[in-house]
Chain A
Amino acid sequence: MKKTGERTGWIFLLILLWVALIRIGGFSPLILPSPRDVLKALYEGFTQGNLGWQILISMGLVLTGLTAASVSALLFFLVSVSSRAGKSFIETLTIIFHPLAGIALLPVVILWFGTGALSIVFIILHSALWPMVTNLSAGYQSLPETYLMVGRNYELSKWRMSTKIILPGSLPYILAGLKISWSRSWRALISAEMIFGAVFKTGGVGWYIFSRRVFMDTPGMFAGITVVIIIGILMEDLFFGILEKKTVLKWGMSLES
Chain B
Amino acid sequence: MRISLTVLLVLLLTVSCTGKHGDTVQLTIAEQYGLAYAPLQIAKEEGYISELLPETTVEWVKLGNTAAIREAILGGKVDMGFMGIPPFLIGWDKGMKWKIFTGLSKAELGLITWRDDILDLKDFGPEDKIALPQPGSIQHILLSMAAGKELGKSDAFDNRLVTMKHPDGMSALLSKRDVTAHFTSPPYVRMEMKEPGMHMILNGEEAMGGDFTFIVGAVTDTLHEKHPEVVEAVKDALAKAMVLIKQNPGKASAILKDEFSLDEKEIYTYLTDGSLRYSEDIEGVPDFLAFMKNSGYLKKTPKNLNEIIIGVDE
Considering the complex, which residues of chain B in the window 104-156 have a beta carbon less than 8 Å from any beta carbon of chain A?
A: 129, 134-137
Assuming A27-B16, A213-B67, A215-B136, is B94 touching A14 (CB within 8 A)?
no
Distance A198 CA – B1 CA, assembled complex (angstroms): 26
Question: Are B172 and A110 in touch, CB under 8 angstroms?
Answer: yes
Q: Complex: how many Å from CA A233 to CA B13? A: 26
Partner of B1, one of A32, A214, A229: A229
Give the segment of A17-25, A168-176, A246-254 that binds chain B: A17-25
Beta-carbon contacts under 8 Å, B170-225 to A:
172, 175, 177-179
Q: In chain B, residues 261-281, which have Cβ atoms closer than 8 Å to a Cβ of chain A?
A: none
Q: Which of A17, A28, A30, A114 contacts B178 (CB 8 A)?
A: A114
Enumerate chain A residues within 8 angstroms of B87, measured Cβ to Cβ. Answer: 214
Chain B interface size band reads 35 or more
Q: Given A30-B96, A213-B67, check contact A198 B161 (CB 8 Å).
A: yes
Q: Which residue of A lies closest to B68 (CB)?
A: A213
Is A10 on the interface with B (CB-CB < 8 A)?
yes
Number of interface residues of A (CB under 8 A): 36
Q: How far is the CA of A31 from the CA of B69 in the complex (A)?
A: 14
User: Is A197 located at the chain interface by the 8 A CB criterion?
Assistant: yes
Q: Are B175 and A111 in contact (CB under 8 A)?
A: yes
Contact indicator A198/B160 (Cβ below 8 Å): yes
Which of chain B's residues has its CB closest to A18's CB?
Answer: B9
- Closest residue to A218 on the B side, CB-wise? B94
Instruction: Decide yes or no: A215 and B13 within 8 Å by CB, A31-B74, A114-B178, A202-B159 being known contacts.
Output: no
Q: Which of A196-231 contact B (CB under 8 A)?
A: 196-198, 201-203, 210-211, 213-218, 229
Given A14-B2, A115-B172, A197 and B297 contact (CB-CB distance below 8 Å): no
| Chain B 1-12 interface mask (CB, 8 Å, partner A; 1/0) | 110010001001
- Asked if A233 meets B2 with Cβ closer than 8 Å, knowing A210-B163, A215-B135, the reply is no
* Cα-based distance from A233 to B2 in the complex (angstroms): 11
- In angstroms, Cα B6 to Cα A18, docked, is 10
A198 cross-chain contacts in B, Cβ below 8 A: 159-161
Rounded to whole angstroms, the CA-CA distance of A75 and B42 in the bound complex is 59
B162 and A197 contacting across the interface, CB-CB below 8 Å: yes
With a CB–CB cut-off of 8 A, which chain B residues contact A203? 159
A-B contact pairs, 5 of them (CB 8 A): A25-B13, A31-B15, A31-B74, A115-B179, A215-B135
Known: A115-B162, A211-B135. 6 other contacts (CB 8 A): A21-B12, A31-B12, A116-B178, A196-B162, A197-B163, A214-B90
